[in-house]
Amino acid sequence: MVYNKDKDKSDFILLINQHSGIIHKICRLYRDRPEDRQDLFQEITYQLWKSYTSFKGESKISTWLYRIAFNTAISAFRKKSPDLSYTSELPDLADEQVNDEQTARYEKLFKALQKLNDADKAIITLYLEDLSYQQIAEVSGINENYVGVKINRIKTKIQSLIK
């Protein structure tokens, strides 16, 4: 079989376009400054591309993508940046079909999620993305029975953070 790098590249671009929303959300969860989020988006895309050719389809493409994206967000070396905290007050949503109240609630949710620790951020994201407990266990490496316990604890944390 002839290896076609151009075909691989165009398939990969399509994949990134399809999943850019979740990558964008992961970047927002794990980095505070807009430029750091942009750097992380690039880093995740680069790491995905590096492992794309060796991805053998043993797992679902989405679980493979989550695994790489979270690993990169948690473990990647960060650029040194000044200790200035900057929080964008601008809504981070597409304009279509969004009203002010929804935007405010979305922002409230995101601020609560940003306060979670790195592990909880990963687990709750996978849950909100509708992955089954088995898939969450596969991506995170924790026991399937423990996934349910963790999710319940995180949901309680979120509720208290939102109040």
Partner 1 sequence: MEENELKSLWKMPTPDKKTNEEIIYMLEEKHHPVLKEIRTQITIEIVGFSAFLLCYFSAFDGATKPFYINLILIFSILASLIHNLYGYRLSNRPVDGSDILNSLKNGIRKTKIYGFRSIINRLIFTSGLMLFFSYNIKFTPSKFYLLAGAIIAITLIQIILLNKIWKKRVQKLKEVLVGFE
**Angle of helix 144-162 relative to helix 100-114, nearest 10 degrees?**
120
If one asks whether residue 159 binds partner 1 (CB under 8 A), the answer comes out as yes
Asked if 141 contacts 73 with a C-beta cutoff of 8 angstroms, the reply is no
- Contacts (CB under 8 A) with partner 1, residues 29-48: 39, 41-43, 45-47
Q: What are phi and psi of 96, to 5 degrees?
A: -65, 145
Our finding on whether 95 is near partner 1 (CB under 8 A) is yes
How many helices, marked H, and strands, marked E, lie in the chain? 7, 0
One of 57, 87, 101, 141 touching partner 1 (CB under 8 A) = 141
Q: What is the CA radius of gyration of the chain?
A: 17
Q: Is 83 in the site for partner 1 (CB under 8 A)?
A: no
Residues that bind partner 1 (CB under 8 A): 9, 12-13, 16-17, 20-21, 24-25, 39, 41-43, 45-47, 49, 51, 67-68, 70-72, 74-79, 92-98, 102, 105-106, 109, 117-120, 122-123, 128-130, 138-142, 155, 158-159, 162
